[in-house]
Structure 1
Amino acid sequence: MASRLRMPENGCMFMQLSLKTRVNLIIAVILTLVVAIGSVLVVHHVRKSVAEETRSALHLAWEMVEASHLQGPLPDEQAAAWRSMLERLGQLRHVRLFILQDERPLPPPPSPALPDVPAWFARLVQPPPAILEQTIPTRQGRGLQVRLVADPADEIAEAWQETRLFLGLILLLAGGCFAALYWVLGRAFQPVDAVLGGLVALEQERYDHRLPQFPQPEWFRIAQAFNHCAGELQQTRADNCRLTRQLLKVEEEERRTLARELHDELGQVLSGIKMLALSIKQQRPAEPTRQAACLIVEQVDHLFETIRAMIHRLRPLMLDDLGLCAALGALADRWRQQRPQVRIQLQCDPGADDFPAGHQIHVYRIVQEALTNAFRHGHPRHVRVRLTVAETPRPRWLHLTIHDDGSGAAIPPLRGRGYGLKGMRERVESLGGRFQVTTAPGRGFTLSIQLPFEEEENDDHPRHACG
């Protein structure tokens, strides 16, 4: 039977996940946020560091240029030397220097070449462009035009190497933390899975299920309470089965006694009355007396038919005289007479007559009630009753299957208002059997029952299955 433990459908998808999954997702989100915030802080720090380093190099080069400017107009013999010295400043890291003379325009600042740095990282940490221009006068000409352009390419490349190492370390730590927490949570939630499995077992009425003894104190107490509850339910089920079996036994004994008394006592009295009426009729009395005798014979015959039907309802005498298969065959024949338009097929294994005599009446009652329900509620065109014996030698099982192609049922039948199926189930469980119902709207109705030939010794808790 499928588990009936369901999450409410009106909740969000996240709340429908298991607790373990939700905790893992929350931890994953928190670690992702930590990594994201750490990455943002690292990028911000790198951007600031690159800007400061570039600005410092640019200001150093600018002070050297400014020192040349303060010396005033340079003579021609010193201009070439100063120009060579300034050009050497262009070899400084993070600074590009351009020197032009006269009216020629200065070239545009170069774009930094970063072949090993991702474009997204370069865009994030690259500082705003910084350009400084100065004119160094000479005694002849318009002077030297000097342009200093900040070039953070080298600094960005170095920052990328450090940042990649740092981010990789953060990701490694976050992944390690998540793996460790996942393992710890998995170990911590193992009792939860065991408890859920135990609740499903109780829902399926497997009261012999027990939880292990957990090492954690809280789960240990929960397991103790669960096992105690399951044990009480198991004992209650066993007591109810024994009580039901005893009540059914008493009921069948009363039915048998009443049937025998009707057959022996009342039958003999009616037979005597009929014989007296026939003897009066044979004496050729007056017409009123003869008509009265004929009326008495007719009424006695009617009472015979009524008593015979009552005896059969109380106790099928054929069951005691000819066995289970013959009694079921007679039952099927009566239904064929009442429902000639329905095909009733009976297949009975001869080994079914070896079923314990005290329990055969229960099999008969189950088939009787199942056929009554089928014709009353399902309106089938074909009913099949099959009775077989399992091949396993010990313990042997009697398999009873009753199938009809009627309308079926739209709700779990055992939860309905009727007591027919519940009564059959109680009979089966009292004998330590297994009971299962398969049905669906428009798919017919199938009743599968398994009964042991003999109960296992010292079995205080009979077996049963869910319907």
Structure 2
Amino acid sequence: MITGLLLLLLSASAFFIVKNASEDVRAEVTSTANLALHLLDAEILQHSSDFGWINNAESNSIFRLQNLGNIRHLKIEFYDMNGKLRESNRSKQQGLENNAPPKWFTNAMGLSGAGLSKHTRKIMLSGRYVGQLVITPDPSYEIAEVWGDTIWILGLAAIFFVLINMLVYFAVRYTFKPVDRIVEALTQMQHGLFSNRLPDFKQVELQEIGQKFNAMADTLQKSTQNNHRLTQQVIRLQEDERKNLAREIHDEIGQYLTAIHMDASAILNGKKLSGAKESAKAISDVTRQMMDMVREILQRLRPRVLDELGLGLALDELMHQWRHRSRNVRLTHNITKDLGVLDEAVSITAYRVVQECLTNIVKHANARQVAVSVTQDAQYIYIKIEDDGVGFDTTLATQGYGLAGMSERIQGLMGHMNIVTSKNQGTRIMVTLPKQAPAGMDNNNGLA
């Protein structure tokens, strides 16, 4: 681009040089021709009555035109009455063979038009025609001078053009030399290697790029490490949950099934109706207990009330159960009953966030008072949970799965979570969730 601009500038300069030179040459040649005509007219008038100067014209110069050889802009010739050239200010050897400009340059000057035509003066003596003077403007010498000046100027411009291009080339090459290093770092990042960092470039143009790249790499590396840690914790928690379910099924339901089997055998082997009734009643009681236990397990896996009654009433049910289990903590809540039509992923995420926060309060906060607020507007749901507990260090809390898991769920829905806490000053967690999950979001997000 720079080379093209310099070439355009060079071409424009050459065009204007030739154009201005053509006008100057035309003006100079025209003025010289006018001056020569004026002097020759005066000379002819002075000698028009003297016939002696024309005697012996074959051997002597009539107008002494050879003395005007230094007038390079004009070719002055005298032709006799027979049309024969008698004298001229140009010698036969005089020419521009060595310094003649090329034909295309002469044509480019455009000096063959009007204003440079021949001028003739007829010589009349006592009414007798003796010949004529022909004055022809000749810009060839001036064109040769312009050609020489143009060659010098264009040569200097060409040297300047080459030097500027070399300077720009090396400057750009030096400035963008680290681009290969940046591309290499981006390639490594593309393949999942986030440990690579860019140096502090000397080029001012690339310093900020390097700093932003390193900050982005730090963020991606931390995020990737955090995701790997969360994945392992999720897998471990899933296995723990399966182990707990297996143990509960084996210990609790297994005992119930054993009791049912024993009572059923007693009915089959019993001979008295009263004994059979007692065994049947025992089977009914055990079955009811099994149903309650299965309902509790299913509630822990997936709150059915959330699907049947919606988020508002499901949270009310959660508050009631939590208050029943934690009688030593005063719980107040303000939950909008009708939260409208919510995306399934948003509903389960909001439910799990409140559930996780209440669980953490019971386990870690040692709080006496808890306040839960769930409100909405046209686009968002706002959750605020406050307690007067011991608080915690947020930098240490992120090592656990609870807050990190909530943060991942919320960010996955393009939501936002803000935690304000300090030692012995309680904790306030504020969550904002969109009512509709982002396009392309799997509705099963957050159900685990």
TM-score (norm 1): 0.46
Between structure 1 and structure 2, the one with the greater Rg is 2
TM-score (norm 2): 0.48
